[in-house]
Structure 1
Amino acid sequence: MTALSDDLNYVVIEGVIGAGKTTLARLIAERFDGRLVLEQFDDNPFLERFYENRERWAFQTQLAFLASRFRQQKELGAHDLFHSLTVSDYAFDKDRIFAHQNLSGDELQLYETLYEHMEPNTPTPDLIVYLRSSTERLLQNIAKRGRPYEEDMDPDYIKSLHEAYDHYFSHYSKSPLLIVNATDIDFVKHEKDLDTLIGHITSAETQGTTHVRHP
Protein backbone atom coordinates (compact mmCIF):
# COMPACT_ATOMS: atom_id res chain seq x y z
CA MET A 1 0.00 0.00 0.00
CA THR A 2 1.25 3.49 -0.87
CA ALA A 3 2.42 5.27 2.26
CA LEU A 4 1.64 8.82 3.21
CA SER A 5 4.45 11.25 3.82
CA ASP A 6 5.19 12.06 7.45
CA ASP A 7 4.56 15.68 6.49
CA LEU A 8 0.89 14.94 5.74
CA ASN A 9 -0.86 15.10 9.10
CA TYR A 10 -3.84 17.20 8.06
CA VAL A 11 -5.30 16.69 4.59
CA VAL A 12 -8.36 18.54 3.32
CA ILE A 13 -10.55 17.50 0.40
CA GLU A 14 -12.33 20.44 -1.24
CA GLY A 15 -14.68 21.02 -4.13
CA VAL A 16 -18.05 22.42 -5.12
CA ILE A 17 -21.28 20.81 -3.91
CA GLY A 18 -21.44 17.34 -5.48
CA ALA A 19 -17.72 17.00 -6.22
CA GLY A 20 -17.36 13.89 -4.04
CA LYS A 21 -15.22 15.43 -1.31
CA THR A 22 -16.96 13.68 1.60
CA THR A 23 -16.76 10.30 -0.12
CA LEU A 24 -13.07 10.71 -0.92
CA ALA A 25 -12.30 11.94 2.61
CA ARG A 26 -13.96 8.79 4.02
CA LEU A 27 -12.04 6.50 1.66
CA ILE A 28 -8.69 8.08 2.49
CA ALA A 29 -9.35 7.99 6.24
CA GLU A 30 -10.32 4.32 5.99
CA ARG A 31 -7.28 3.37 3.95
CA PHE A 32 -4.78 5.10 6.23
CA ASP A 33 -6.64 4.65 9.54
CA GLY A 34 -7.00 8.39 9.91
CA ARG A 35 -9.27 10.60 11.95
CA LEU A 36 -12.22 11.77 9.83
CA VAL A 37 -13.68 15.25 10.30
CA LEU A 38 -16.85 15.94 8.30
CA GLU A 39 -18.74 19.16 7.89
CA GLN A 40 -21.91 19.15 9.99
CA PHE A 41 -24.22 20.65 7.39
CA ASP A 42 -27.26 18.71 8.63
CA ASP A 43 -27.05 20.62 11.91
CA ASN A 44 -27.65 23.96 10.20
CA PRO A 45 -31.30 24.85 10.98
CA PHE A 46 -31.49 27.36 8.12
CA LEU A 47 -30.15 25.25 5.26
CA GLU A 48 -33.43 23.97 3.83
CA ARG A 49 -34.95 27.44 4.02
CA PHE A 50 -31.86 28.83 2.30
CA TYR A 51 -32.40 26.60 -0.73
CA GLU A 52 -36.05 27.65 -0.84
CA ASN A 53 -35.22 31.38 -0.65
CA ARG A 54 -31.50 32.15 -0.81
CA GLU A 55 -31.83 35.91 -0.53
CA ARG A 56 -34.05 35.73 2.57
CA TRP A 57 -32.02 33.15 4.52
CA ALA A 58 -28.44 33.60 3.28
CA PHE A 59 -27.17 35.62 6.25
CA GLN A 60 -28.57 33.30 8.93
CA THR A 61 -27.34 30.24 7.06
CA GLN A 62 -23.86 31.68 6.59
CA LEU A 63 -23.42 32.68 10.23
CA ALA A 64 -24.61 29.27 11.41
CA PHE A 65 -22.05 27.59 9.15
CA LEU A 66 -19.31 30.00 10.23
CA ALA A 67 -19.90 29.22 13.91
CA SER A 68 -20.10 25.47 13.33
CA ARG A 69 -17.00 25.33 11.15
CA PHE A 70 -15.00 27.46 13.56
CA ARG A 71 -15.95 25.24 16.50
CA GLN A 72 -14.83 22.15 14.57
CA GLN A 73 -11.59 23.78 13.48
CA LYS A 74 -10.74 24.70 17.06
CA GLU A 75 -11.24 21.07 18.06
CA LEU A 76 -8.83 19.99 15.32
CA GLY A 77 -6.04 21.54 17.36
CA ALA A 78 -6.46 18.86 20.03
CA HIS A 79 -3.73 16.22 19.79
CA ASP A 80 -5.02 12.81 18.70
CA LEU A 81 -3.00 10.01 20.30
CA PHE A 82 -4.60 7.33 18.13
CA HIS A 83 -4.26 8.82 14.64
CA SER A 84 -1.30 10.42 12.90
CA LEU A 85 -3.53 11.60 10.03
CA THR A 86 -6.62 13.81 10.05
CA VAL A 87 -8.74 14.02 6.89
CA SER A 88 -11.50 16.60 6.47
CA ASP A 89 -14.05 17.24 3.74
CA TYR A 90 -13.80 21.01 3.98
CA ALA A 91 -11.38 23.86 4.59
CA PHE A 92 -12.34 26.75 6.82
CA ASP A 93 -11.62 29.06 3.88
CA LYS A 94 -14.60 27.65 1.97
CA ASP A 95 -16.91 29.59 4.26
CA ARG A 96 -15.66 32.81 2.77
CA ILE A 97 -16.21 31.57 -0.79
CA PHE A 98 -19.88 30.95 -0.04
CA ALA A 99 -20.25 34.21 1.86
CA HIS A 100 -19.08 36.23 -1.13
CA GLN A 101 -21.55 34.34 -3.30
CA ASN A 102 -24.55 34.89 -1.05
CA LEU A 103 -24.02 38.08 0.97
CA SER A 104 -23.54 41.74 0.15
CA GLY A 105 -23.49 45.18 1.75
CA ASP A 106 -23.58 45.46 5.55
CA GLU A 107 -24.17 41.72 5.98
CA LEU A 108 -21.00 40.87 4.07
CA GLN A 109 -19.05 43.52 5.99
CA LEU A 110 -20.19 42.07 9.33
CA TYR A 111 -19.33 38.59 8.12
CA GLU A 112 -15.83 39.72 7.11
CA THR A 113 -15.24 41.20 10.55
CA LEU A 114 -16.17 37.91 12.23
CA TYR A 115 -14.19 35.81 9.76
CA GLU A 116 -11.03 37.88 10.15
CA HIS A 117 -11.15 37.34 13.93
CA MET A 118 -11.63 33.58 13.58
CA GLU A 119 -9.40 32.57 10.67
CA PRO A 120 -6.01 33.10 12.39
CA ASN A 121 -7.10 30.61 15.07
CA THR A 122 -7.74 27.76 12.64
CA PRO A 123 -5.16 25.13 11.60
CA THR A 124 -3.52 25.28 8.16
CA PRO A 125 -3.79 22.06 6.13
CA ASP A 126 -0.62 20.24 5.10
CA LEU A 127 -2.34 19.63 1.76
CA ILE A 128 -5.60 20.63 0.08
CA VAL A 129 -6.96 18.39 -2.66
CA TYR A 130 -9.32 20.38 -4.89
CA LEU A 131 -11.63 18.09 -6.85
CA ARG A 132 -12.42 20.17 -9.91
CA SER A 133 -15.39 18.89 -11.90
CA SER A 134 -17.69 20.21 -14.62
CA THR A 135 -21.01 21.82 -13.72
CA GLU A 136 -22.81 19.01 -15.55
CA ARG A 137 -21.06 16.31 -13.53
CA LEU A 138 -21.70 18.18 -10.28
CA LEU A 139 -25.43 18.37 -11.03
CA GLN A 140 -25.51 14.66 -11.88
CA ASN A 141 -23.86 13.79 -8.57
CA ILE A 142 -26.23 16.06 -6.63
CA ALA A 143 -29.24 14.38 -8.26
CA LYS A 144 -27.89 10.90 -7.45
CA ARG A 145 -27.58 11.50 -3.74
CA GLY A 146 -31.22 12.51 -3.48
CA ARG A 147 -31.25 15.04 -0.65
CA PRO A 148 -34.78 16.54 -0.59
CA TYR A 149 -33.65 20.15 -0.16
CA GLU A 150 -31.33 19.81 -3.17
CA GLU A 151 -34.01 18.57 -5.57
CA ASP A 152 -34.52 21.97 -7.18
CA MET A 153 -30.89 23.06 -7.11
CA ASP A 154 -30.39 26.04 -9.42
CA PRO A 155 -27.84 25.14 -12.12
CA ASP A 156 -26.78 28.79 -12.30
CA TYR A 157 -25.95 28.72 -8.59
CA ILE A 158 -23.73 25.65 -9.05
CA LYS A 159 -22.10 27.28 -12.06
CA SER A 160 -21.36 30.44 -10.07
CA LEU A 161 -19.91 28.37 -7.22
CA HIS A 162 -17.77 26.46 -9.72
CA GLU A 163 -16.37 29.75 -11.04
CA ALA A 164 -15.83 31.09 -7.51
CA TYR A 165 -13.93 27.97 -6.44
CA ASP A 166 -11.78 28.10 -9.57
CA HIS A 167 -10.97 31.74 -8.94
CA TYR A 168 -10.18 31.16 -5.28
CA PHE A 169 -7.89 28.19 -5.79
CA SER A 170 -6.15 29.76 -8.78
CA HIS A 171 -4.82 32.33 -6.28
CA TYR A 172 -4.43 30.05 -3.26
CA SER A 173 -0.97 29.94 -1.65
CA LYS A 174 -1.48 29.31 2.06
CA SER A 175 -0.63 25.60 1.88
CA PRO A 176 0.32 22.98 -0.76
CA LEU A 177 -2.51 22.44 -3.24
CA LEU A 178 -3.32 19.51 -5.52
CA ILE A 179 -5.87 20.37 -8.23
CA VAL A 180 -7.46 17.23 -9.70
CA ASN A 181 -9.53 17.23 -12.87
CA ALA A 182 -12.18 14.84 -11.53
CA THR A 183 -14.84 15.17 -14.25
CA ASP A 184 -14.04 11.82 -15.87
CA ILE A 185 -13.04 9.70 -12.88
CA ASP A 186 -15.14 7.59 -10.52
CA PHE A 187 -13.18 6.66 -7.41
CA VAL A 188 -16.26 4.99 -5.89
CA LYS A 189 -16.95 2.45 -8.64
CA HIS A 190 -13.40 2.01 -9.88
CA GLU A 191 -10.70 1.16 -7.34
CA LYS A 192 -8.05 1.85 -9.96
CA ASP A 193 -9.20 5.48 -10.10
CA LEU A 194 -9.01 5.68 -6.31
CA ASP A 195 -5.52 4.13 -6.25
CA THR A 196 -4.33 6.57 -8.93
CA LEU A 197 -5.76 9.53 -7.06
CA ILE A 198 -4.24 8.44 -3.75
CA GLY A 199 -0.92 8.01 -5.56
CA HIS A 200 -1.11 11.64 -6.67
CA ILE A 201 -1.89 12.70 -3.10
CA THR A 202 1.00 10.77 -1.58
CA SER A 203 3.44 12.21 -4.13
CA ALA A 204 2.11 15.77 -4.17
CA GLU A 205 4.59 18.63 -3.96
CA THR A 206 5.21 19.94 -0.44
CA GLN A 207 4.81 23.52 -1.63
CA GLY A 208 3.00 25.35 -4.39
CA THR A 209 0.30 23.95 -6.66
CA THR A 210 0.25 20.65 -8.56
CA HIS A 211 -2.22 20.01 -11.39
CA VAL A 212 -3.40 16.49 -12.17
CA ARG A 213 -5.37 15.29 -15.17
CA HIS A 214 -6.77 11.76 -15.44
CA PRO A 215 -5.62 9.34 -16.62
Structure 2
Amino acid sequence: MLGTLLLLSIARRGHTTVSSSLKYEIRRQKHSLISDWKPYLIYNPKKMYKSRKSEVPRPYRVSVEGNIGSGKSTFLSYFERFSEVEIYLEPLDRWRDVQGYNVLDLLYSDLTKWNLTFQHMVQLSRVNIQTSTSSKTVQMFERSVQNNRYCFGEMAYKGGLLSDVEYTIFDKWYSWVSDNTDIGLDLIVYLRSNPEKVYQRLLQRSRKEELSVSLEYLQQVHEAHEKWLLHGIPAKAPAPVLVLDANSNLDAMYRQYELNQEVILGTRKKLSN
Protein backbone atom coordinates (compact mmCIF):
# COMPACT_ATOMS: atom_id res chain seq x y z
CA MET A 1 0.00 0.00 0.00
CA LEU A 2 2.77 2.44 0.95
CA GLY A 3 4.53 1.64 -2.32
CA THR A 4 1.33 2.29 -4.28
CA LEU A 5 0.92 5.71 -2.68
CA LEU A 6 4.48 6.70 -3.50
CA LEU A 7 3.95 5.55 -7.07
CA LEU A 8 0.97 7.87 -7.46
CA SER A 9 3.04 10.73 -6.09
CA ILE A 10 5.97 10.16 -8.45
CA ALA A 11 3.76 9.49 -11.45
CA ARG A 12 2.05 12.87 -11.11
CA ARG A 13 5.43 14.54 -11.01
CA GLY A 14 6.53 12.73 -14.18
CA HIS A 15 9.30 10.67 -12.62
CA THR A 16 8.27 7.13 -13.61
CA THR A 17 10.87 6.68 -16.36
CA VAL A 18 13.62 4.20 -15.67
CA SER A 19 17.22 5.34 -15.89
CA SER A 20 19.61 3.59 -18.23
CA SER A 21 21.69 2.49 -15.24
CA LEU A 22 18.62 0.93 -13.63
CA LYS A 23 17.75 -0.90 -16.87
CA TYR A 24 21.28 -2.25 -16.97
CA GLU A 25 21.05 -3.36 -13.34
CA ILE A 26 17.75 -5.15 -13.94
CA ARG A 27 19.19 -6.92 -17.01
CA ARG A 28 22.35 -7.81 -15.12
CA GLN A 29 20.44 -9.38 -12.25
CA LYS A 30 17.73 -11.05 -14.30
CA HIS A 31 19.54 -14.36 -14.67
CA SER A 32 20.38 -14.68 -10.98
CA LEU A 33 16.82 -13.82 -9.98
CA ILE A 34 15.10 -16.46 -12.08
CA SER A 35 17.72 -19.20 -11.76
CA ASP A 36 17.82 -21.75 -8.94
CA TRP A 37 19.80 -20.47 -5.99
CA LYS A 38 19.95 -21.13 -2.26
CA PRO A 39 18.90 -18.76 0.51
CA TYR A 40 21.79 -16.95 2.12
CA LEU A 41 22.52 -14.61 4.99
CA ILE A 42 24.31 -11.28 4.78
CA TYR A 43 25.91 -10.23 8.07
CA ASN A 44 26.67 -6.65 9.02
CA PRO A 45 29.51 -6.91 11.58
CA LYS A 46 29.35 -3.24 12.57
CA LYS A 47 26.04 -2.37 14.19
CA MET A 48 24.98 0.90 12.64
CA TYR A 49 22.28 1.98 15.05
CA LYS A 50 23.04 3.36 18.50
CA SER A 51 19.57 2.56 19.79
CA ARG A 52 19.22 2.62 23.55
CA LYS A 53 19.08 -0.92 24.94
CA SER A 54 15.89 -1.95 26.66
CA GLU A 55 16.05 -2.31 30.44
CA VAL A 56 14.12 -5.57 30.14
CA PRO A 57 14.63 -8.39 27.63
CA ARG A 58 12.69 -7.76 24.43
CA PRO A 59 11.38 -10.22 21.84
CA TYR A 60 13.42 -11.35 18.85
CA ARG A 61 12.51 -8.90 16.07
CA VAL A 62 12.14 -9.85 12.42
CA SER A 63 11.24 -7.48 9.59
CA VAL A 64 10.07 -8.89 6.27
CA GLU A 65 11.01 -6.64 3.36
CA GLY A 66 10.43 -6.79 -0.37
CA ASN A 67 8.61 -5.41 -3.37
CA ILE A 68 4.86 -5.06 -3.74
CA GLY A 69 3.53 -8.54 -4.47
CA SER A 70 6.65 -10.34 -3.22
CA GLY A 71 4.69 -12.33 -0.64
CA LYS A 72 5.14 -10.43 2.64
CA SER A 73 1.57 -11.07 3.84
CA THR A 74 1.87 -14.75 2.89
CA PHE A 75 5.11 -14.99 4.86
CA LEU A 76 3.51 -13.46 7.95
CA SER A 77 0.43 -15.66 7.65
CA TYR A 78 2.67 -18.74 7.58
CA PHE A 79 4.49 -17.79 10.79
CA GLU A 80 1.40 -16.52 12.59
CA ARG A 81 0.52 -20.13 13.40
CA PHE A 82 3.50 -20.38 15.77
CA SER A 83 2.44 -19.67 19.36
CA GLU A 84 5.60 -17.69 20.11
CA VAL A 85 5.12 -15.27 17.18
CA GLU A 86 3.21 -11.99 17.07
CA ILE A 87 2.82 -10.37 13.65
CA TYR A 88 2.28 -6.72 12.74
CA LEU A 89 0.82 -5.79 9.36
CA GLU A 90 1.16 -2.35 7.77
CA PRO A 91 -0.92 0.01 9.96
CA LEU A 92 -3.28 1.33 7.28
CA ASP A 93 -6.04 2.10 9.78
CA ARG A 94 -3.74 4.46 11.68
CA TRP A 95 -2.99 6.37 8.49
CA ARG A 96 -6.69 6.65 7.68
CA ASP A 97 -7.73 8.06 11.07
CA VAL A 98 -5.51 10.61 12.80
CA GLN A 99 -7.97 12.21 15.23
CA GLY A 100 -10.55 12.14 12.47
CA TYR A 101 -8.20 13.15 9.65
CA ASN A 102 -7.49 10.72 6.83
CA VAL A 103 -3.83 11.31 6.03
CA LEU A 104 -4.16 9.15 2.92
CA ASP A 105 -6.93 11.38 1.57
CA LEU A 106 -4.85 14.47 2.34
CA LEU A 107 -1.94 13.00 0.44
CA TYR A 108 -4.15 12.27 -2.57
CA SER A 109 -5.51 15.84 -2.50
CA ASP A 110 -2.05 17.46 -2.74
CA LEU A 111 0.86 15.07 -3.16
CA THR A 112 3.64 17.59 -2.69
CA LYS A 113 2.04 19.56 0.15
CA TRP A 114 1.20 16.54 2.28
CA ASN A 115 4.11 14.21 1.49
CA LEU A 116 6.25 15.17 4.47
CA THR A 117 3.21 14.88 6.74
CA PHE A 118 2.56 11.41 5.40
CA GLN A 119 6.20 10.37 5.79
CA HIS A 120 6.12 11.53 9.42
CA MET A 121 2.90 9.61 10.05
CA VAL A 122 4.33 6.43 8.54
CA GLN A 123 7.53 6.83 10.52
CA LEU A 124 5.67 7.49 13.78
CA SER A 125 3.33 4.53 13.38
CA ARG A 126 6.21 2.19 12.57
CA VAL A 127 8.20 3.41 15.58
CA ASN A 128 5.17 2.77 17.80
CA ILE A 129 4.91 -0.75 16.42
CA GLN A 130 8.62 -1.58 16.62
CA THR A 131 8.91 -0.38 20.22
CA SER A 132 5.72 -2.10 21.40
CA THR A 133 5.88 -4.72 24.13
CA SER A 134 4.70 -8.27 23.63
CA SER A 135 4.19 -11.39 25.69
CA LYS A 136 5.48 -13.40 22.71
CA THR A 137 9.16 -14.18 22.18
CA VAL A 138 9.21 -13.23 18.47
CA GLN A 139 7.83 -10.10 16.78
CA MET A 140 7.48 -9.99 12.98
CA PHE A 141 6.86 -6.74 11.10
CA GLU A 142 5.58 -6.09 7.60
CA ARG A 143 8.32 -3.64 6.65
CA SER A 144 10.17 -1.49 9.18
CA VAL A 145 10.87 2.11 10.10
CA GLN A 146 14.33 1.57 8.61
CA ASN A 147 12.69 0.64 5.32
CA ASN A 148 10.65 3.83 5.36
CA ARG A 149 13.82 5.88 5.86
CA TYR A 150 16.17 4.15 3.44
CA CYS A 151 13.83 2.91 0.70
CA PHE A 152 10.58 4.83 0.35
CA GLY A 153 11.86 8.05 1.94
CA GLU A 154 14.81 8.07 -0.45
CA MET A 155 12.50 7.41 -3.39
CA ALA A 156 10.23 10.32 -2.42
CA TYR A 157 13.20 12.67 -2.16
CA LYS A 158 14.75 11.59 -5.44
CA GLY A 159 11.32 11.82 -7.07
CA GLY A 160 11.07 15.50 -6.15
CA LEU A 161 8.30 15.04 -3.58
CA LEU A 162 10.42 16.18 -0.64
CA SER A 163 12.41 19.40 -0.77
CA ASP A 164 15.95 19.58 0.56
CA VAL A 165 14.83 21.10 3.86
CA GLU A 166 11.96 18.60 4.22
CA TYR A 167 14.32 15.71 3.59
CA THR A 168 16.75 17.11 6.18
CA ILE A 169 13.99 17.36 8.80
CA PHE A 170 12.80 13.85 7.94
CA ASP A 171 16.35 12.51 8.35
CA LYS A 172 17.00 14.37 11.62
CA TRP A 173 13.79 13.02 13.11
CA TYR A 174 14.78 9.48 12.13
CA SER A 175 18.29 9.96 13.55
CA TRP A 176 16.87 11.08 16.89
CA VAL A 177 14.57 8.05 17.01
CA SER A 178 17.38 5.63 16.19
CA ASP A 179 19.64 7.20 18.83
CA ASN A 180 17.09 7.40 21.63
CA THR A 181 14.73 4.46 21.22
CA ASP A 182 15.18 0.75 20.67
CA ILE A 183 14.04 0.19 17.09
CA GLY A 184 16.68 -2.48 16.58
CA LEU A 185 16.04 -5.55 14.44
CA ASP A 186 17.56 -8.99 14.89
CA LEU A 187 16.88 -10.30 11.38
CA ILE A 188 15.67 -8.95 8.04
CA VAL A 189 14.01 -11.41 5.67
CA TYR A 190 14.35 -10.05 2.14
CA LEU A 191 11.86 -11.64 -0.26
CA ARG A 192 13.92 -11.00 -3.38
CA SER A 193 11.77 -10.99 -6.49
CA ASN A 194 11.97 -10.23 -10.19
CA PRO A 195 9.98 -7.03 -10.94
CA GLU A 196 8.42 -8.69 -13.98
CA LYS A 197 7.26 -11.59 -11.81
CA VAL A 198 5.55 -9.48 -9.16
CA TYR A 199 3.99 -7.31 -11.86
CA GLN A 200 2.26 -10.41 -13.24
CA ARG A 201 1.04 -11.24 -9.74
CA LEU A 202 -0.46 -7.78 -9.35
CA LEU A 203 -2.30 -8.14 -12.64
CA GLN A 204 -3.69 -11.51 -11.56
CA ARG A 205 -4.94 -10.45 -8.13
CA SER A 206 -6.41 -7.13 -9.44
CA ARG A 207 -6.54 -5.21 -6.17
CA LYS A 208 -8.09 -1.77 -6.52
CA GLU A 209 -5.24 0.08 -4.81
CA GLU A 210 -2.68 -1.58 -7.11
CA LEU A 211 -4.29 -0.79 -10.46
CA SER A 212 -1.95 2.17 -11.04
CA VAL A 213 1.24 0.27 -10.21
CA SER A 214 3.49 0.11 -13.26
CA LEU A 215 6.36 -2.22 -14.08
CA GLU A 216 8.68 0.80 -14.10
CA TYR A 217 7.72 1.64 -10.53
CA LEU A 218 8.25 -1.95 -9.38
CA GLN A 219 11.72 -1.79 -10.91
CA GLN A 220 12.43 1.35 -8.89
CA VAL A 221 11.25 -0.30 -5.67
CA HIS A 222 13.38 -3.34 -6.50
CA GLU A 223 16.45 -1.18 -7.05
CA ALA A 224 15.91 0.64 -3.74
CA HIS A 225 15.76 -2.65 -1.83
CA GLU A 226 18.77 -4.09 -3.67
CA LYS A 227 20.88 -1.02 -2.90
CA TRP A 228 19.95 -0.94 0.77
CA LEU A 229 19.87 -4.63 1.71
CA LEU A 230 22.56 -6.06 -0.58
CA HIS A 231 24.94 -3.13 -1.15
CA GLY A 232 24.50 -0.91 1.93
CA ILE A 233 23.35 2.17 -0.01
CA PRO A 234 22.49 4.71 1.40
CA ALA A 235 23.16 2.89 4.70
CA LYS A 236 24.08 -0.58 5.87
CA ALA A 237 21.29 -2.92 6.87
CA PRO A 238 20.78 -2.84 10.66
CA ALA A 239 20.65 -6.64 11.04
CA PRO A 240 21.63 -9.86 9.26
CA VAL A 241 19.69 -10.22 6.01
CA LEU A 242 18.20 -13.57 5.02
CA VAL A 243 17.64 -13.49 1.26
CA LEU A 244 14.90 -15.80 -0.06
CA ASP A 245 13.93 -16.37 -3.67
CA ALA A 246 10.40 -14.93 -3.88
CA ASN A 247 9.94 -15.84 -7.55
CA SER A 248 8.94 -19.37 -6.55
CA ASN A 249 5.40 -20.73 -6.41
CA LEU A 250 3.55 -20.99 -3.11
CA ASP A 251 4.56 -24.59 -2.36
CA ALA A 252 8.22 -23.80 -2.98
CA MET A 253 8.01 -20.71 -0.76
CA TYR A 254 6.50 -22.76 2.07
CA ARG A 255 9.38 -25.19 1.65
CA GLN A 256 11.88 -22.34 2.04
CA TYR A 257 10.08 -21.14 5.17
CA GLU A 258 10.12 -24.65 6.63
CA LEU A 259 13.81 -25.22 5.90
CA ASN A 260 14.83 -21.89 7.43
CA GLN A 261 12.22 -21.44 10.14
CA GLU A 262 14.73 -21.94 12.97
CA VAL A 263 16.86 -19.11 11.56
CA ILE A 264 13.76 -16.96 11.07
CA LEU A 265 12.55 -17.67 14.61
CA GLY A 266 16.00 -16.97 16.05
CA THR A 267 16.71 -20.44 17.41
CA ARG A 268 19.54 -21.23 14.98
CA LYS A 269 22.06 -18.99 13.26
CA LYS A 270 23.11 -21.15 10.31
CA LEU A 271 21.17 -21.91 7.16
CA SER A 272 19.94 -25.25 5.91
CA ASN A 273 21.89 -26.72 2.99
SS state at 2:81 partner: helix
C-alpha distance 38-25 of structure 1, shift in aligned 2 (>3 A): same
1:4 is matched with none
- Give the 3 Å change call, closer, same or farther, for CA 79–32 of structure 1 in structure 2: closer
The alpha-carbon distance between structure 1 residues 166 and 141, as it changes in their structure 2 partners (threshold 3 A), is same
In structure 1, the residue matched to 2:177 is 118
TM-score, L = length of structure 1: 0.77
State yes or no: 1:59 paired with 2:123.
no
Rg larger in structure: 2
Q: Percent identity?
A: 22
3-state SS in 2 of match to 1:161 = helix
Mapped to 1, the partners of 2:107 and 2:90 lie a distance apart of 17
Residue 114 (structure 1) shift:
0.9
Distance 1:128 1:37 in 2: 14
What is the deviation of 1:16? 1.7
Structure 2 residue 240 is the aligned partner of structure 1 residue 197: no
For structure 2, the residue ranges without an aligned partner over 5 or more in a row are 1-58, 96-101
Q: TM-score, normalised by structure 2?
A: 0.62
> Does structure 2 retain, via aligned residues, the 8 Å contact 1:29–1:36?
yes
Matched, 1:87 2:140: yes
Of 197, 209, 212 in structure 2, the residue corresponding to residue 137 of structure 1 is: 197
What residue number does 1:102 align with?
156
CA distance in 2: counterparts of 1:115 and 1:26, whole angstroms: 29
- Asked whether the 8 Å contact 1:132–1:182 carries over to 2, the reply is yes
> 1:94-119 CA deviation, whole Å, 9 max, x = no partner?
11111110124111111101111112
Asked if 1:27 is matched to 2:91, the reply is no
* Aligned residues between the structures: 195
What is the rounded CA distance, in whole Å, between the counterparts of 2:79 and 2:222 in structure 1?
A: 24
Partner of residue 3, structure 1: none
1:38-78 CA-partner distances (Å, limit 9, x unpaired) = 22134323446657875454323212211111111221xx2
Over the residues paired in the alignment, what is the CA RMSD in angstroms? 2.9
Which whole-Å CA distance do the structure 2 matches of 1:50 and 1:141 have between them? 26
**Structure possessing the higher relative contact order (Cα contacts under 8 Å, 6 or more residues apart):** 2
Residue 86 to residue 47, structure 1, CA distance change in 2 (3 Å): same
AA aligned to 2:86 is: R
How far apart are residue 18 of structure 1 and its match? 1.6
Q: Cα gap change, 1:102/1:84 in structure 2, threshold over 3 Å: closer, same or farther?
A: same
Residue matched to 2:125: 68
Checking the alignment, whether the CA contact within 8 Å between 1:11 and 1:125 is kept in structure 2 is yes
Long gaps (5+) in structure 1: 1-7
Report the Cα offset of residue 206 of structure 1.
3.6
Matching residue of 1:158: 218
Return closer, same or farther for 1:110/1:156 CA change in 2, 3 Å cut-off: same
1:107 maps to a residue whose letter is E
Describe the shift of the 1:42–1:153 C-alpha distance in structure 2 as closer, same or farther (beyond 3 A): farther
Q: Distance in 1 between matches of 2:237 and 2:121?
A: 27
Change (3 A) 1:48 1:199: farther
Alpha-carbon distance in structure 1 between the residues aligned to 2:107 and 2:216: 15
